Each structure stands twice: as C-alpha cells, then as structure tokens.
Amino acid sequence: MRRYSFATLITAHAKAVVSHLPMIFDETAGTEGTLYGHFARPNTHWQLDHQRLESIAIFHGPHAYISPTFYPDGALAVPTWNYATVHVSGHLRLIEDMEEAKGVIARLIRFYESGNAKPWANPLPTELFEKMMRGIVVFEMPVKTIEGKYKLSQNRSIADQRGAIAGLRARGDSEANMLADFAAEYLGLCESNGTDGRSEDLARGEEGVGD
C-alpha cells in the first residue's frame, strides 16, 4: 500500500462511482489504521452520502503474464496472470476544517517528496495555498477491513515457482521484475536467503481470486 499508493476508490451507489487517487496509510490512526487522500472539487464522488455508503480502495501491486514455458517440471499448464493487490473497505469522512485539511495535504506532500534529493518545501504564500486548498476536498477513511489478494503460482511446486520468477526476470521489463521481486519475497524464495524460508506446504497454498 505504501509502495503502490495510487489506488482505485469505489463507492457503491445507484451505480458504482470510481475515482483514481493517491492515498497514504497510517497504521497508527484508528483501530485498524486510516487512509488519507483528496478529491478535486469538480469530482462529484465526494458529494455522496459517505456516512451511509461504504467504499473500497484497491491498491494494485505488480502484475504480469505467466507463460507455461516458465515451468520446468513439464506438467500440463495454461497461460495465466499473476498479481498482488490489497482491498481496503471503510466509510469516508470529509475533512472540512481548513487547518486539519492542510495537515493532511502536508503529510501527502512529505510522503511523495521524500524520495527526491531536494524535496519541495511548499514556498507558496498562505493566501495562495489556501485558495488552492479550496479547489480540493480532503478526506480520511478509517479502515473497516483490509484484505490482501495474491496470485503468485503458490499452488504449484517450488520448482515451478522458481521457474515463474526466473521467466519474469528474463523478460526484463520493470513490471515483470517488480513482480518477480515481490513473489520471491512473499514465497520465501529470495536468492540471498540460501533457503526457501517457507515450507513447501505453505508455498503451495491456495491461489487468490482470479485463477
């Protein structure tokens, strides 16, 4: 959620209302943690009855095509798609107090600027900054449920899991490499470990939704 923080926010209404937003997660806020983000004010998503309507934020991790040729054991297989996602549900609360909203935006800026050699320090005059703040609607979403959904060939043999990881790395594109790194870490197959780190029974556990 921190690494892949650009999420799809869905609120059930007469028809589903969908927005694509950067959101940050604070595990120390609320019982189960809290998400923070903002809408552009012209986006009418914020105008829904969020006290009544539940929302789901979907954080999309790395994903990539898996070819049967990646598997070394020769067993019959079909092409598939591996992925990692997190689904977070809760009710949005709009933050209408200007100072509280500015605090959230300051946290968002710090989070996304932290990887820059020279982080932007927001030199805007207060009047101009507050004018721009009035063009957005800041919210928080206390977490009701959080669920990870992973499909990483965990129903196959460890040899096939290693083959899938090697096949992704051989492809060479950044998304395939990120999925290979994630799968190796999640399945306990990191080369630096020297050992598998997870039992074969666990590594061959049930695959996620969408197989």
Q: What is the pLDDT of residue 194?
A: 44
Q: Give the DSSP letter string of 83-152.
A: EEEEEEEE--EEE--HHHHHHHHHHHHHHHHTTSSS-------HHHHHHHHTTEEEEEEEEEEEEEEEES
38, 26 Cβ separation under 8 angstroms: no
Q: What is the pLDDT of residue 172?
A: 85
- In the numeric block, the tokens 């598997």 are attached to 71
Q: What is the DSSP letter of 15?
A: S
Q: What is the pLDDT of residue 208?
A: 47
Q: What is the pLDDT of residue 192?
A: 52
CATH 2.30.110.10 fits 6-203, yes or no: yes
Mean pLDDT by runs of 10 across the 211 residues of the chain is 94 93 95 97 97 97 96 87 97 97 96 94 92 97 96 93 96 93 92 47 39 41
| pTM exceeding 0.85 | no
Q: Where are the domains of the chain?
A: 6-203
